[in-house]
């Protein structure tokens, strides 16, 4: 069966499921979302996940809302993520609501960024969708705008177990890096 568009959540309420070849209770027909990795049986899986809001906000509105929430809670700063790498931020900025200046934060991860955070702590979405292609057993495309969460825990990344690569020193030869004129 050809995959059909499925609105899984409408106005914050779970209304549908991705259904493969095996029907589930209350959803007796397939909507064509049985996908499989090589050498594995098919199961319900998404191909393209599109997150969008019925009331999208601009990036400036999201930042203003975030700074108002941070000030109202008496917190000294909030966070703004520019890009994500899985569940870890690639670019994370600490934003100070008093003057709006930003500082780059290095070596941080989110403690519990999961479906529960999307369900409970998501308060606004932007109007700037970003496409992310995820490779793996079953390839997936995620199209998601900027998101504003009421609360997410940011913690220091545990890099103590990261092992640096072990490379031998390059050979040093007498004229290995000499440039000549006119060539």
pLDDT digits (tens, 9 = 90+) for 104-156: 887 777 776 666 666 667 788 889 888 888 887 888 888 888 888 887 777 78
pTM score of the predicted model? 0.66
Q: Give dist(CA 6, CA 18) in Å, integer.
A: 7
Checking if the pLDDT of 178 tops 70, the result is no
Dist CA 125 CA 138 (whole Å): 27
Q: Per-residue pLDDT for 166 more than 60?
A: yes
Task: Identify each DSSP E strand in the chain by its residue range.
Answer: 9-10, 13-14, 34-35, 43-44, 48-50, 78-85, 88-95, 102-105, 108-110, 122-125, 130-134, 140-144, 147-149, 154-156
- Say if residues 110 and 119 touch (Cβ distance below 8 Å): no
pLDDT at position 173: 65
pLDDT tens-digit profile of 51-110?
888 889 998 898 888 889 889 989 898 888 776 666 566 677 888 988 888 888 877 777
Q: What's the rounded Cα separation, in Å, for the pair 122 and 155? A: 19
Burial per residue of 78-113, b for 16 or more beta-carbon CB atoms within 10 angstroms, e otherwise:
bbbbeebeeeebeebbbbebeeeeeeebeeebbeeb
Please report the sign of the dihedral spanned by the C-alpha atoms of residue 126, residue 129, residue 133, residue 139. Answer: positive
d(Cα 6, Cα 110) in Å, to the nearest integer? 29
Query: Residue for token digits 């479906």?
Result: 115
pLDDT at 59: 86
CA dist., res. 28 & res. 126, Å (int): 35
What is the reported pLDDT for 54? Answer: 86
- Residue 42's pLDDT is what? 81
């Amino acid at each position: 069966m050809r995959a059909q568009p499925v609105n899984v959540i409408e106005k914050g309420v779970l209304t549908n499921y991705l259904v493969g070849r095996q029907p589930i209770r209350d959803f007796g027909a397939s909507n064509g979302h049985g996908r499989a990795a090589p050498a594995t049986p098919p199961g319900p899986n998404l191909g393209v996940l599109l997150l969008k809001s019925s009331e999208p906000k601009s990036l400036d509105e999201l930042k203003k809302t975030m700074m108002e929430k941070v000030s109202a809670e008496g917190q000294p700063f909030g966070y703004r993520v520019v890009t994500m790498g899985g569940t870890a931020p690639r670019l994370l900025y600490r934003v100070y609501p008093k003057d709006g200046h930003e500082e780059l934060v290095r070596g941080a991860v989110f403690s519990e960024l999961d479906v529960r955070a999307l369900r409970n702590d998501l308060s606004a979405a932007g109007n700037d969708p970003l496409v992310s292609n995820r490779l793996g057993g079953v390839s997936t495309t995620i199209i998601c705008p900027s998101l504003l969460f009421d609360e997410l825990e940011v913690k220091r990344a545990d890099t103590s177990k990261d092992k640096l690569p072990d490379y031998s020193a390059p050979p040093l030869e007498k004229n290995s890096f000499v440039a000549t004129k006119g060539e």
